[in-house]
Amino acid sequence: MNMSVEPPHDKAASALAQGQTNPPHRILLVDDDASIRQLSAKVLIRFGYQVDAAEDGEAGWKALHAANYDLLITDQTMPKLSGVELIKKLRSARMNLPVVLASAALPAEELDQNPWLQLAATLLKPFTKYELLGAVKAALSATAMTASAQNLARPVLAEAVIPVSSLPQWRSQP
């Protein structure tokens, strides 16, 4: 079942959210362990992220189709659909979304055999809130840099270019 996690009503979280100039990043958190899901969501919300949660890979897949996310954080070992299986479906559907894979035992061999899964980060369970926040920040920063580089490399339409000589301040003075 997919659920939105409500933000805590504390002064620190409110002050952080009010001080943001950009809308918060939206994160989908998929984990079958309810306590990990709740604790991780609380940490992320406290630091200004908007979080939706799903209790297994199948519910996570449905959530990915129901809303747009900036980041997916998924557990590996879950019923119905594992984290790697979820990521494979995500990549096969050409969803360009950074992914953080969290697990007590990362499937190194499977990840090595499937580099096209393109994980932004991995988290070894149990992880600290600082490790979680660091992985999220790194994944979102890498995505922002990639998007920025792609924008720089995009061609400009000829109609959008204004010749410098046609601008009054650049004309030669007689």
Residue 15 has pLDDT above 90, yes or no: no
Give strand pairing partners of 81.
none
Closest CA to 136 of 164, 88, 102: 102
User: Which range marks the domain in which residue 149 is found?
Assistant: 2-170
The total of structural domains in the chain comes to: 1
Beta carbons of 44 and 1 less than 8 angstroms apart: no
Beta carbons of 55 and 32 less than 8 angstroms apart: yes
| pLDDT value at residue 107 | 86
**pLDDT class of 148 with cuts at 50, 70, 90:** very low
What is the side-by-side order of every strand in the sheet holding 71-75? 2-4, 50-54, 26-30, 71-75, 99-103, 121-124
CATH number of residue 140's parent domain = 3.40.50.2300
**pLDDT class of 11 with cuts at 50, 70, 90:** very low
